[in-house]
Amino acid sequence: MSDLTVSLIQANLHWEDKAANLAMFDAKIDGIKERTEVIILPEMFSTGFSMQPERLAETMDGQAVTWMKQKAKEKNAIIMGSLIIEEGGQYLNRLIWMQPNGVYGTYDKRHLFAFADEHNHYTPGDKRLIAQVKGWKINLAVCYDLRFPVWARNVINGDGAPEYDLLINVANWPERRNVHWKTLLHARAIENQCYVIGVNRVGNDGNNIYHSGDSSLIDPLGEIVYRKEHDEDVFTYTLSRQHLDEVRGRLPFLKDADKFMIL
Catalytic positions: 43, 109, 143
Task: Report which of 184, 155, 207 is spatially closest to residue 49, judged by C-alpha positions.
Answer: 207
**Rounded distance between C-alpha atoms, residue 181 and residue 159, angstroms:** 33
Beta strands 136-142 and 166-170, pairing class = parallel
Torsion (CA) 139, 26, 217, 73 in degrees, nearest 10? 40
Question: What are the E-state strand segments in 35-183?
Answer: 38-40, 78-87, 90-98, 104-108, 130-133, 136-142, 166-170
**Rounded distance between C-alpha atoms, residue 232 and residue 51, angstroms:** 24
